[in-house]
Amino acid sequence: MPQLQLLPADAAYAAAIMSGPQAWPVALVNMPFVSIYRPSLQLGLLRAIADRHGFPATTFHLNLDFAQQIGPKLYEQLVHHRGRMFGDWLFSPAAFGAEAPDRDGALLNRFGDEAELLLADLGVDRNALLDIRNREVPRYLDRMLDSIDWSAYRVVGFTSTFQQNVAAFALAARLKERFPELITVFGGANFEGDMGLGLVEGVDCIDYAIIGEGDEAFPAFLHALADGDDPATTPGVVSKATSRAARAPRAPFSRLDELPLPDYEEFFTRAGSVGLIPDMSRRLVYLPFESSRGCWWGQKHHCTFCGLNGGTMAFRSKSPALLREQLAELVRRYRSFMLEAVDNIADHDYFASFFPKIVADRSDYQFFYEVKSNLTRDKIRLLRDAGVKRIQPGVESLNSHILKLMRKGVSATQNINLLRWAQYYGIDVGWNIIWGFPGETEEDYQSQLSIMTQLAHLQPPTGAGRIWMERFSPLFTDRRSFPADFVRPETSYGFVYPSSVDLQRVAYFFEYALEGALPDEVYVSTRDWVRSWQAAWKQDTRPTLNYWSAPGFVQIDDLRDVEKSGTYTFQGALADIYLCCSDRAMTAAGVRDALKLNESEDEIAEALHEFTGRGLMFHESGHFLSLAIPATPGR
């Protein structure tokens, strides 16, 4: 058969293709430790962006393979244990070889009590964990190196958040050794600001890093490669040669409506192939989506402990109509109705636009959203009607003075009311009690403990403890407002990274001693009560405080404490007063006006204080909130 001959024009066209985007195939990799029950939004979005620009890209959710190898339960426990960097530590010898600082596993001795708790959670002993580190991790990396044809790619990109750094470095180092011509590029939250610059300088396997959001920087990086230009001259991209250059970062991406739908197909294919998520179980997978970036509250008042949005605090959101279209398409493509918003805070305008439309659509979505905790009953009911099953409202404390020190912009009354109505409408609340802020008093915690003991019928906090100092938070960046005796990288970083890495630059969590903070013993009673509260909610019968009402009559069944259970009945004006303070907190004057009562304001205040004394109301600064929730659900 005669061979086809390329005409000059055809030859020029072929050469153009071979030197253009098609000649730069990209592998995008997701390494341990992130959950196996959701695909990577970062990979899915960057894959779609690369495709839009003509670059062939493939995603690899390799975290799934490691979970399959060591067991999904054990793997997920490691994902959720972020203290002391045990996840990164497991991959440290594989990533850094002879330069790894803790080849013998001294971390387990240094943090003995915490290590024992981790081992108990994992259901393994010390030798088994060391076996994962010394045997399973190298075996996993060898499998990933051999099972994929990496020679088919010219660029390998790694996304990294929390404890994904070192596993990514371990694979990247092996790839660079076997395929020296491969170009590696890193990005994600772990490469924000100075952390990214320090990692580029200190870790050999990193060729380039994208600092900040990659929606524009990533395709610009790829185009620079395809055009034969230096990618490090692209705003937002750094290399070892340019990491010290004083160059302004790329501005946060604001045109969220222009972003493509993330591509999650490879996640489901791989999850099925390794036997973790059979096709019929894909409905249990959360599909990450973003409806906004940044934080509209943080733009005005940056919460003192929050290290999110390092250089991207400016709030931006998608148009509600487009978001509805994209969510419908995500569900159609991947057949899961579990939708997880990665937003730091829900757009307050969505309560008038997006959520009512979702209700009108009568869709069966099940949402997770982060929200501000000052939501009213009507807004919480709207969330329930829209399919929001879980929220993270940033409650943090049940004391208004402490909340003010945090710059939360909410009161204890609002936090308690959110917990009440979320409980009533069946919305799961993820929240914590945190302490250690300069300016707190022992009285603050005595007061908080007093009210906490009356809230056993509401969902307990997930945890309670001293604040973590995070990079980018005001506690870290503003030494004038928050003087400290010392601030240094959290100790476990030294057991993970070699001496070539400047821990002061790459650490996200820090140990500290803030001036004006209270000693640990002040918080013992709070911690103990939270544990009791959590234990009570693990029983077959949970504590309850419900009211039944009829015109002019209220009956309250108090089952918060079995030993002190009882029933209260109130008639006439007393019943009306209690119901009046149920939707939201009211003053005595407000109650009098709302009910058009003949009683004086002082008489009404006396009744309100009587309710408070019996533990049926919460009183703060002249405002009274009923604590019981309606017995008839869902109204």
16-65 pLDDT tens trace: 445 689 999 999 999 999 999 999 999 999 999 999 999 999 999 999 99
Computed over every residue of the chain, the mean pLDDT equals 94
Q: Which residues pair with 27 in a beta bridge?
A: 58, 156
What is the pLDDT at residue 17?
45
Query: What is the C-alpha to C-alpha distance for residues 495 and 560, in angstroms, rounded to an integer?
Result: 46
Which of 459, 283, 293 is closest to 370 using CA atoms?
293
Q: What is the pLDDT of residues 328-340, one digit of tens each?
A: 999 999 999 999 9
Instruction: Provide φ and ψ at 264, rounded to 5°.
Output: -110, 10
What is the pLDDT at residue 81?
85
Q: Where in the chain is the domain with CATH 1.10.10?
A: 544-630
Which range among 1-15, 123-137, 268-282 shows the weakest confidence by mean pLDDT? 1-15
The H or E element that residue 359 is part of is: helix 354-361
> Tokens 């869709």 correspond to what residue?
363
What is the pLDDT at residue 563?
87
For the segment 612-629, the average pLDDT, to the nearest whole number, is 98
What is the pLDDT at residue 519?
96
Q: What is the pLDDT of residues 272-316, one digit of tens each?
A: 999 999 887 888 899 999 999 999 999 999 999 999 887 789 999
Whether the per-residue pLDDT at 6 is higher than 60: the answer is no
Question: What percent of the chain is predicted at pLDDT more than 90?
Answer: 91
Confidence of residue 248 (pLDDT cuts 50, 70, 90): low
For the segment 134-163, the average pLDDT, to the nearest whole number, is 97
Is-contact 499 433, C-beta < 8 A? no
For 285-536, CATH number out of 3.30.300.20, 3.20.20.80, 3.80.30.20, 2.60.40.10 equals 3.80.30.20
Whether the per-residue pLDDT at 14 is higher than 80: the answer is no
> Tokens 């009512």 correspond to what residue?
356
Instruction: Provide φ and ψ at 213, rounded to 5°.
Output: -70, 140
Q: Where in the chain is the domain with CATH 3.80.30.20?
A: 285-536
Measured CA to CA in angstroms, residue 564 lies from 336, 404, 531, 561 at distances of 45, 34, 20, 5
For 544-630, CATH number out of 3.40.140, 3.40.50, 1.10.10, 3.40.1130 equals 1.10.10
Measured CA to CA in angstroms, residue 383 lies from 204, 367, 378, 559 at distances of 48, 9, 9, 28
Which of 427, 456, 591, 443 is closest to 535 using CA atoms?
456
What is the pLDDT at residue 431?
98
Whether the per-residue pLDDT at 9 is higher than 80: the answer is no
Separation of CA 410 from chain center = 21
Is-contact 190 82, C-beta < 8 A? no
Whether the per-residue pLDDT at 13 is higher than 60: the answer is no
What pTM does this model have? 0.94
What long-range pairs does 91-95 form, CB within 8 A, spacing at least 24?
91/32, 91/133, 91/137, 91/166, 91/167, 91/169, 91/170, 92/166, 92/495, 92/496, 92/497, 93/133, 93/134, 93/137, 94/137, 94/138, 94/141, 94/170, 95/166, 95/167, 95/169, 95/170, 95/173
